[in-house]
Amino acid sequence: MSMPFPFDLAWPTSGYLALYLVTLLMHALFMSYVLGGALAVAFVRLHGVRENGPVTRTFIDWLPFALSAAITAGVAPLLFVQILFQREFYTANLLSFHRWMAILPVLIGAFYLLYLLKARPHARRLSAAVASAVALSVIFVAWSWIENHMLSLDSSAWVKQYESGALAYRDPAVFLRLAFWLALALPTAFWLLALQLRFGASGAKPEEAHFATRRLAPVALGFLLVAAALAPFVLRGTWSLSPVDETRLAGADVPYLVLAAVGVLLTLGGWLSSQHLPRLSGLCVVLGSLGLALTWWGVLCARELVRLARLDLDTLTQRHTELATSSGLVVFLVFAVLALAVIAWIFDRVARSLR
Ligand code: HEM
């Protein structure tokens, strides 16, 4: 029986890819919370709602933490993507240099704005403006990552892009991909929020949590279905300037799209069963969370298989084998264990003091 992706590939490519995918999954969850949360708060504020219900209150409280977590959790996959796809990733970075570097001041600005929002949540106009600025900043960052990813895979556009000095990669499918990530981020953020409310985050009372979960469910389900419908086309770049060559892909992504679809069904089950209960039961929590994890894992694996189908795997594997001789593995493992131990210690301290 052949091993599941990425373990079916040669070592050390499979090892780098496994670490890349696991760390990217962590980044994806936090960045979804930031994207979904910022959009939800901006939407509520722009509709003139001034008082903070459990949804806005919890998002406003937790968004600064989530943004720092999204940024921190982005560092690990950033290291692995540079090892895995050095030539492609750096070329795209360099081609859109100033545009690309703009994500740093934008993220710093968004970070401070989130604290401003937290400090002045009741100033109606100010908080509407601040929430919208945060949402736009975060969307700009998502757009930049998407553009970078798509440009990195379209090597035929590199020379023209360099000659024209254009700062943006002009493929309209960038916006479709952005719509896809947003459609997936919103239900992810809402589910994470539903879990937080269930456990009383930001002082949420059980009846508030129940009411909020019921209100969020139809929106989350709608976006989840949109994401499911877009996934195969967006990931394969069907309507982009450089779609993947289907003969090279040979349907390798299909099992992972199916896995993602199973995840979507489980998540739907989690949301729907929560509608009839006074609070999220253990079964709902497991269903929804497992569903979300499977959905993201399926999407990230399919996304990676599509990227590999565009590149020369032999050249990549050879480069990774050379890199693996740099003997950084021991140092990496030591620091990975240290970091995990510190995180576990912090969790333990916080849990104890909360108790
Ligand atoms: C809140 C801010 C951020 C948002 C909304 C965001 C959003 C995204 C999105 C939508 C993608 C998928 C791109 C695609 O496949 O089309 C992505 C990928 C990625 N992000 Fe983030 N991101 C954020 C911040 C960061 C930061 C600060 C880092 C690094 C420190 C980072 C590291 C990565 C990496 C490594 C990838 C994978 C790139 C690739 O495989 O080509 N992200 N991000």
Q: Phi and psi at residue 26, in whole multiples of 5°?
A: -65, -45
Which atom from ligand 1 is nearest to the alpha carbon of 110?
1
Q: Are 152 and 171 in contact (CB under 8 A)?
A: no
Q: What is the dihedral of CA 186, 190, 191, 195, to 10 degrees?
A: 150
User: What one-character-per-residue DSSP string does 187-219 give?
Assistant: HHHHHHHHHHHHTTGGG--HHHHHHHHHHHHHH
Of residues 107 and 242, the one with the higher pLDDT is: 107
> Cα(35)–Cα(38) distance, rounded to whole angstroms?
5
| Ligand 1 lined by 259 (C-beta under 6 Å) | no
Sign of CA dihedral 195, 198, 200, 204: positive
| Ligand 1 lined by 70 (C-beta under 6 Å) | yes
Amino acid 109: pLDDT = 97
Q: Residue 27 to residues 76, 108, 116, 155: CA-CA distances in angstroms?
A: 9, 18, 24, 26
Amino acid 50: pLDDT = 67
Which atom from ligand 1 is nearest to the alpha carbon of 34?
1
Give the model's confidence band at 120: pLDDT under 50 very low, under 70 low, under 90 confident, else very high.
confident
Residue nearest to atom 33 of ligand 1 (CA): 74
Q: Are 343 and 189 in contact (CB under 8 A)?
A: no
pLDDT single digits (tens) 161-213: 999 988 889 899 999 999 999 999 999 999 999 999 998 888 888 888 888 89
Q: Is 190 helix (H, G, I), strand (E, B) or coil?
A: helix
Mean pLDDT of 98-104: 93
Interacting residues of 355 by C-beta distance below 8 A, sequence separation 6+: none
Amino acid 181: pLDDT = 98
Shortest CA distance to 67 belongs to which of 101, 117, 37, 111?
A: 111
Interacting residues of 99 by C-beta distance below 8 A, sequence separation 6+: 144, 147, 167, 168
Which atom from ligand 1 is nearest to the alpha carbon of 35?
5
Q: Are 38 and 131 in contact (CB under 8 A)?
A: yes
Q: For residue 74, report the distance from its CA to the centre of ligand 1, in Å.
A: 6
Of residues 108 and 207, the one with the higher pLDDT is: 108
Q: For residue 142, report the distance from its CA to the centre of ligand 1, in Å.
A: 6
Dmax (CA) for the chain in angstroms is 61
* CA of residue 142 relative to chain centroid, distance: 9
Place of tokens 């700009």: 140
> Cα(355)–Cα(349) distance, rounded to whole angstroms?
10
| Ligand 1 lined by 299 (C-beta under 6 Å) | no
> Cα(301)–Cα(255) distance, rounded to whole angstroms?
10
Q: Is 49 helix (H, G, I), strand (E, B) or coil?
A: coil
Domains of the chain, earliest start first: 13-324 (1.20.1630)
Which atom from ligand 1 is nearest to the alpha carbon of 77?
35
Q: Are 93 and 148 in contact (CB under 8 A)?
A: yes
